[in-house]
Amino acid sequence: MPHARQYSPLDRVLINADRALRTLFGRPQTTERRNPAAGLQEAELRDDQRKHVARLMRVNHTGEVCAQALYQGQALTARLPETRQRMERSAQEENDHLAWCEQRLEELGDRKSLLNPFWYAGSFAMGAAAGLAGDKWSLGFVVETERQVESHLDEHLEQIPAQDEKSRTILEQMKADEVRHAQIAKATGGVDLPAPIRAAMKLTSRVMTRTVYWI
């Protein structure tokens, strides 16, 4: 069996730069899972409903940009190879969400957020800092992030019109994946983050959702 290639720190920096460009401006590498909404009929929506759903999907798309950046930052600074591999696999699955949200935005006739580069940079820095703090804290950061994303998706599912099965199906699959990511991170050593950090994460998420809804 051939040995897995060992990447130098410079290699990893270049790889992360490539992934950042793909996430923000191109087509990131996915797991090739089928879009769960493929084949579903487009719903009849009023103009105001369509606009609101599109803005919600834009927020979800930016949330996946942030998740991608967090995982890449954590993978870059993770100390154990096993932890790095988990982060990279989770990042690839988050790319599925990114692709699904982007496709839904196109179907709804709307655009991605203009603030995505800003949020990617900030999230990458947070992920790298979590990785430097140690793998148990990095995994704990994943647990808390996914819990907050799950709550955020529940709020959006309540707001999406009942007849919009395409958007609803995408968000439900995303939620299932986020729950699984949190469970894996917890089971492999993630610890509970201090209350001030959890509060700061919620505040940052609130600022992101409110700005990206409009911009």
Residues 6 or more apart whose Cβ sits within 8 Å of residue 116: 24, 62, 65
Q: Is the pLDDT of residue 150 over 70?
A: yes
Q: What would the mean pLDDT of 127-137 be, rounded to a whole number?
A: 81
| Predicted structure pTM score | 0.84
Residue 141: name the closest of 119, 120, 125 by CA: 125
Q: What would the mean pLDDT of 73-83 be, rounded to a whole number?
A: 71
**Residue-level pLDDT at 24:** 75
User: What percent of the chain has pLDDT above 70?
Assistant: 84
**Greater confidence, 171 or 136?**
171
Q: pLDDT tens digit string along 181-196?
A: 888 888 878 888 888 8
**Greater confidence, 12 or 42?**
42
Q: Is the pLDDT of residue 28 over 80?
A: no
**Greater confidence, 167 or 130?**
167
Q: Which DSSP string do the residues of 16-63 spell out, in sequence order?
A: HHHHHHHHHHS------PPPTTTTPPPP---HHHHHHHHHHHHHHHHH
**Greater confidence, 54 or 8?**
54
**Residue-level pLDDT at 3:** 47
In which band, very low, low, confident or very high, does the pLDDT at 113 lie, cut at 50, 70 and 90?
A: very high
Q: What is the mean pLDDT of the chain?
A: 83
Q: What would the mean pLDDT of 72-83 be, rounded to a whole number?
A: 71
Q: What would the mean pLDDT of 18-29 be, rounded to a whole number?
A: 71
CB burial of residue 166 (10 Å; 0-12, 13-18, 19+): buried
Residue 152: name the closest of 84, 81, 23, 57 by CA: 57
**Residue-level pLDDT at 86:** 67
State whether residue 83 is helix, strand or coil. Answer: helix
What amino acid occupies position 167?
S
Alpha helices in the chain (DSSP H): 9-25, 47-77, 81-107, 116-133, 135-159, 165-187, 195-212
**Residue-level pLDDT at 51:** 94
Q: What would the mean pLDDT of 129-158 be, rounded to a whole number?
A: 85
State whether residue 70 is helix, strand or coil. Answer: helix
**Greater confidence, 103 or 87?**
103
Burial 17-44 (b: 16+ CB within 10 A, else e): eebbeebbeeebeeeeeebbbeeeeebe
* Residue showing tokens 């719903």: 43
The rounded distance, in Å, linking the Cα atoms of 215 and 210 is 9
**Residue-level pLDDT at 1:** 41
**Greater confidence, 117 or 136?**
117
What amino acid occupies position 92?
Q
The rounded distance, in Å, linking the Cα atoms of 60 and 152 is 9
